[in-house]
A and B are shown apart, each in its own frame.
Chain A
Amino acid sequence: MKGQALPAFATLIVCALLLFPIWWMLVTAVAQPDDLRGFPPVFFPTHPSFAAFHTILFDRPMLRWIMNSAIVAGLSTALTMVLGVLGGYALSRYSSRAVRAAGMSVLLAKMIPTTLLVIPLYVLFREYGLLATLTSAALAHCTVTIPFAIWMLKAYFDSIPAELEEAAAIDGCTPLGALWRIVLPVSLPGLGATALYAFILSWNEFAFSRTLLFSAPENWTVTIGIASIRGEYIIAWNEIMAASAIVAVPIIIVFLWLERYLVVGLTAGAQK
């Protein structure tokens, strides 16, 4: 116990330093307007004010942005999960040269700069009349979410014993029936973590959304919205930080709660 005080103390300091920006976001969001311009800054709010939350939620289109983000993230997550389950299962159980080649080429998507890919996507979506629609953003987000979902689910399926399917085969299941009735039900934690991760990736995405949706303010997502408030002439920092907190806090909570599962996603495909 004696030698443990030093690392514990050091960790405390390091965490305080590293997490200060999150604390500062929360403090600013509940600050009294006068505190924002006062020195020394107020580090521990004694009289928190929730006026900024009220302003951002009801005087600005924040609720609309949140809904748009949720729709985009929901759509891309749904498509990602269908494709990811099939692709990940193929890589895990039906791996052949062709399947592995497809799996690897999907990984290469991680190298493509978003600012490059968004150029032809912009042109293509304009040709198909999809530009500035939530669908266009959802499809663009899939270029990010599908590659990681395939590899994250492959890793999860690898951890499920193949005997399950062998037993299903003996009981007269088809291979797809075995996937649907036997493998998926026991994979629910992995499926949930992957879906959540895909949702978060899409929720946080900025470059695609900003390019594809910018011309239609009614379709803006939260990330475009937050960036746009900061572009204004007079910056109401407490409002921006309130909006930021609304966007970030749910994800922080999910992360604290499910870190174990999400970290798999953070490193999925990295080992290959």
Chain B
Amino acid sequence: MRELFLDARELEHPEPLEQAIEALKDLDENSYFYMLHRKEPIPLLALAGEHNLNFISQQTADENWHILISRNQDIKLEEFIKE
């Protein structure tokens, strides 16, 4: 499984979204996008929902948000979350 990783914690708005959208265009059936962010990116999640992508967002104890998105609906994204 290929991971497209983006650490967006130190990026200024709207760079995280810009880079995330570019990464989403590169997704195939065997890959997923993993983004670390300091805020929950609701517009990105809305976009993923709009395009019927498989996605999950979760905040960990260190207050960072982990956002995982895949095109393949069968990928269990929660298994890839790095605590």
Do A and B associate with each other? no
Show the binding face of A for B, using Cβ within 8 Å.
Answer: none
